[in-house]
Each structure stands twice: as C-alpha cells, then as structure tokens.
Chains A and B, each alone.
Chain A
Amino acid sequence: MDLQTSWRRIGLPLGFALLSLLAWEAVVRIFEVREVLLPAPSAIAARLAETLPLLLQHAWPTVWESVAGFLIASLLGVALAALLSASSLMRDMLYPNVVLFQLIPKIALAPLFIVWLGIGFQSRLTFSVFISFFPVVIATLAGLDNVDKSLLRLCRALTATPWQVFKDVRLPYALPYVFSGMKIATTFAIIGVIVGEFITSQAGLGYLILFASAQADTSLILAAILVLCVFGLAFYGLVAGVEQWTRRRFGA
C-alpha cells in the first residue's frame, strides 16, 4: 500500500470522524445546548474519565456474557450447519424452519427468556446465543454447500469417509463463510446481552445506560456507549484477526 492509498483508507475516514466531533463540539457550545439533551464530546470525555472504574466494573458482565454467548453460538451454529449438510433428511426437516425463525424479530422474544430462565445471567446468555446463532448457521451452510463439486468426486474416487470429506474439504472450503457469519454474530451477541440487561439486571453496561437515563445523566449514557463501542470493535477485530491467521495457515 503506497502512501496515497494508505492516507485515503485510514486518514480520510479518521479525519472525517474527527471533523464531525469538532462540529458537534462547536454546535453544542455556540447554541448552548443543555448537557441533558446533548453533551459535548469534551463533556463525555470528562465523564468517562471520572467514572472509568464504574464503567469497567459494569463492562465486565456485559463482556463475558457476550463473548460466552458468541462462542456457544458459533459452536452450535457450525455443528447444526454440519448436520444439515450431512443429512438430507435433517436438512429438509429443519432448514425451512431455521429460515422461518430467522424472519422472526427475535428481540421481541427477550422477555420470554426472562420468564423461562429467571433474572440471572442464564437468561441473558441464552438469549445472546439464541440471536447470534442464526447468522452462523446460515453462512456456514452456504459455505459447506459451496464446495467445489469436482473435489467431492475426487474424494469419492479416493474412497474418503464422510468425516474425511467434511474435515479435509468441506470445512476448509467453508471457513471464509463461517467467519463472515461469526463476524455478524459478534454484534448480535452484544445486542442480545444489552437487551437482556435492559429488561432486568443489576449490573452490566445495559443496566448502567438504563440507570443513567433515569438520572438524566446523558453524559454517562454516552460514556457507557463509548465503552460498548470500544468493546464491540475489539471483539470484531479479534475475530477478524483469528480469520486472518487461519487464512494464512490454510492459505485459502
């Protein structure tokens, strides 16, 4: 990447974001917008600095529940996709239902999980798994189906077992798809936990946002959202990093 393209790809969006923040700051100062309505970036930064221990304390449950939800959803998603691709009976029976379920606005089901699993982390974790699971299943299945048909013929000629075909050919072929599903799932997993925390919780960033809004502490709301953004970005970046490593490892 030469200097000009690196400037365009990194400097340009960064510069725009910085300019937007400056404009925001200027608008708030010039028109004297009240802090409860829209705090200036500088005010949010100050609130972030003074409440950082509190924010981090509340970030912890949100982070571990999202990460655990994501990991469980990824494992279950890949496993179900493998089952659907291995058995045409299972596929014909389950796949239309998976697609149908995908269409349900799943957020609306969140209160049900509280009813079923109580107000502990179990209900939030399960709900997070529930909504981040679908993108992984659908993307992985698309990948497993996308395998080069002539390679399957080769495997048949070599008398490979179904398990060998899956691990040596189908899964490596599907990996880019699996990762694109997993990258969507990172965001979904966080949404699941936050929604759960909105409904009922004594801790977590979702709880903190709700608490701050009851106090009309808009700066704290935005500071919490900022922490969420940083976490979401790091989470996504981690998965993208694992993807890069896997691609180098497998050279696909």
Chain B
Amino acid sequence: MTSPLSRPAWLLASSVAAERGRSYISVQDASKTYASRNGDVHAVEHADFDINEGDFVSLVGPSGCGKSTLMSMIGGLEVPSSGRITIDGTPITAPRRDFGYVFQDATLLPWKTVLDNVLFPIRTQKRPVADFLGEAERLLRLTGLWAFRDKRPTELSGGMRQRVAICRGLINDPRLLLMDEPFSALDAITRDDMNLALARLWDEVHKTAIFITHSIREAVFLSDRVLVMNARPSRIVADIRVPFPRPRRVEMQEDPEFQAICAFVREKIHEGLSGGDGTVSS
C-alpha cells in the first residue's frame, strides 16, 4: 500500500534525530532479557526513541511483542537489561511519584469509595489530602463520575471503574501517565465510549502519556504519535506522527488519511507476524 519511495509525511524516520534536542523521555537502546528454562527470552530488543513533552504516544503491536515490558521499564517497574531510559536526562530506575499509572484492570480498592480511590496515591504518598480535593473533583467531573463519588467500585460498570483508575492516575498531576491496555477488558461499545472520553479528557489535561493497546484504530484516534512494535524480534518497526488536530472528533475515523494510517500500521504488524518477508496475510 505505502511504497518506501513515496514516504508519507506522517511516517517518521526510525530514529528522529531532529527531535532528540527537545526530548523529554529518552529510551536509549533499551533491551530486556528474561532467563527461562528454554534459554533467554528477549522481551524487548534495542528500543530506541524519544518522547516529547505533551505528546500522547501509543505503543501498538501484537500480544507478546514486549510493549507492556517496555512500558514497565519506562515506568520504573522493571529495569532494562541493557541500555537506559531517562526523563530530563535522569535515569528512571524505580517507580516515580511524579508518574501516573493505569493498568489493564482498574485495580480499585473495593472497600473504598470512588473519591477515596482517586485520592489513594495522595494518602499513600502522605501528601495533604485537602490540597488535592479540588483536583479530584475536577477530574471526576471531567469524566462524568462526580455524582458517583461516594459509590463503591462494585456499584460501577467496567467502563466507569476504568475511568476512576484514570482519574487516580492523574490525581498527582503526573509528568507522565502510563496506561497499559486500560480498555482491553471492555466490550466494543464501551471501548468506543472510553476512547471518546479519554480524547475529551486530553483536550483538558494536556499530559505526556504512553498508551499501550493492540487496537490500531484506538491508537491512531487517541495519539499524537504511534509506535508500532513487532514480536520476534521485539522491536519498533514504524514511527508515525498522527497529523490530525485536537480536539479529536469521531468523524475523523472516516477520513481517508486516518484509514491510510490504520492500514499502514496493520500492514506493518502483519509483516512481523508473517515472518518479515513483507507478505500480508489478511
């Protein structure tokens, strides 16, 4: 579909030297290898890219491509076997209190109310809760959950629980929000809703974010930039800057360029799955 000769403007060179200057998060030749009974498993190999401040970046790829491992390393939950990952030049070696984390499960405390769950990081980090009540209210209002602030997680739907988890990830005004497949457990309709809700939220909060997903459409719809990962070898095979302005609109998904980007990402993923010889098997 996209021949290498006429590279579209949205497809970036694999290592964007021009952007290194104002880089914020810098992943420098990071690899992660696990020892197993059947020899070493290369979860991530030679990941090398920078993320600019304010960008919403998606990592998209098939399951087992190491995108979750890569995100865990950026979040300081795991340490790279080689290479390094820095924020403003400082290596990330442990979870940081100025990061926000959202996982695949909402991981809410079932005995706490919605509001208390959102404030849980503040209490854990022994900061004055009173200083963050306003921010909690703002986030819960933005996500349409303020009316449910005194409910327990069991009284909410799956989509609402995941929105609470996102509010919790944002409560400490993080410098980076890491989201690991936050919507993958939701049904398709709820997921579309959540994409829209997250896009709306981003129009308000403007945060640097890394978002992991295996939904191509979701990645392109939400992101300023999409990194495509492949499995075996686990590496980044395409780097795309999504050219659509914010706020994002649902109609944008009908745009031929949107569909061209999605098709290109799909092609890249299938190349990896079919052994890298370029044949598409869909």
Q: Which residues of A contact B (CB under 8 A)?
A: 148, 150-151, 153-160, 164, 168-169, 172, 250-252
Contact = CB atoms under 8 A, between A and B. Distances in A.
Contact of A157 (B95, B105, B152): B95
Give 10 closest A-B pairs by Cβ, nearest first: A250-B111, A157-B101, A154-B107, A157-B95, A251-B152, A160-B124, A158-B124, A150-B107, A150-B105, A252-B111
A252 B108 CA distance: 12
Given A157-B75, A157-B95, A251-B152, A168 B103 contact: no
B95 A151 contact: no
Given A250-B111, A252-B110, A252-B111, 20 more contacts: A148-B105, A148-B107, A151-B107, A151-B109, A153-B103, A154-B101, A155-B124, A157-B95, A157-B101, A158-B97, A158-B120, A158-B125, A159-B95, A159-B96, A160-B124, A168-B109, A168-B124, A172-B109, A251-B152, A251-B154
A174 to B, nearest CB: 12
Contacts of B99: 157
Contact of B109 (A156, A159, A169): A169
Contacts, number: 50
A168 B104 CA distance: 21
B19 to A, nearest CB: 28
Interface in B85-99: 94-97, 99
Given A153-B77, A157-B95, A158-B121, A172 B103 contact: no
Nearest to B165: A154
Contacts of A169: 109
Contacts of B125: 158-159
Interface residues of B, number: 21
A222 B95 CA distance: 65
B237 to A, nearest CB: 28
A169 B110 CA distance: 10
A252 B154 CA distance: 9
A159 B97 contact: yes
Contacts of A168: 109, 120, 124
Contacts of A155: 124
A122 to B, nearest CB: 39
Given A250-B111, A251-B111, A156 B77 contact: yes
Contacts of A251: 110-111, 152, 154
Contacts of B120: 158, 168
Given A156-B95, A157-B77, A251-B152, A172 B111 contact: yes
Interface string B119-137: 0110011000000000000
